[in-house]
Amino acid sequence: MRYPLITKRIRSDAIKCLVTLVLALLLLNLLGCGGRWRTPKPARSADLAVSVHPVSNTSAIRLTVDDVIVILRQLGHTDEQVFELGEDLRDALLNYGGAKIRVGDKFDSALRAEGFHLWIQSLSRGTFVYDVKSHEFTLGPGVTTY
């Protein structure tokens, strides 16, 4: 024996529930794509690819981790970029004696070892000389020499 009223009620309740669920999902989808709910876009400088390219030189230099951090921070790189570039820069200067740092589609910095000094030229920051023995900059903006 069939109960037609019960099955009609179950079907209509199931359809109402399904329609409510679809509307709720659409509403959540719209809220996720709305202006103020959107995740912020990273800054333009964070979009640029940064890489180290070794350059052959007659002299090589061994840098400590602290030296690499100080140099990259002086060149204006972020903590993430320092982490990303640090090992490649240290290896390039140890094995080749020179390196170029590419930011986006252009080379921003060039580094060249000469004895216990590292000559650094940057398009955006100027020219620096880093003394590996004293672990400080001996020439550059803000450095006074006597």
Which one is predicted more confidently, 142 or 119? 119
Instruction: Supply the pLDDT for residue 91.
Output: 95
Burial degree of 75 (CB within 10 A; 0-12, 13-18, 19+)? buried
Contact 90, 63 (CB under 8 A): yes
Residue 129 CA to residue 12 CA, distance in Å, equals 80
Q: Is 18 helix (H, G, I), strand (E, B) or coil?
A: helix
Q: Is the pTM of this model over 0.85?
A: no
Beta-strand ranges (E) seen in 12-125 are 50-56, 97-103, 106-114, 117-122
Angle (deg, nearest 10), helices 79-95 and 65-74: 120
Contact 81, 40 (CB under 8 A): no
Half-sphere exposure of 125 (CA within 13 A, CB side): 21
For 42, 70, 144, the CA distances from 65, given in Å and listed in that order, are: 28, 9, 25
Neighbour tally for 133: CB within 10 Å? 8
Domain spans in the chain, listed from the N-terminal domain onward: 1-40, 44-138
Q: What is the pLDDT of residues 20-57, one digit of tens each?
A: 887 777 766 666 654 444 444 444 445 578 999 999 99
Q: What is the pLDDT of residues 88-104, one digit of tens each?
A: 999 999 999 999 999 88
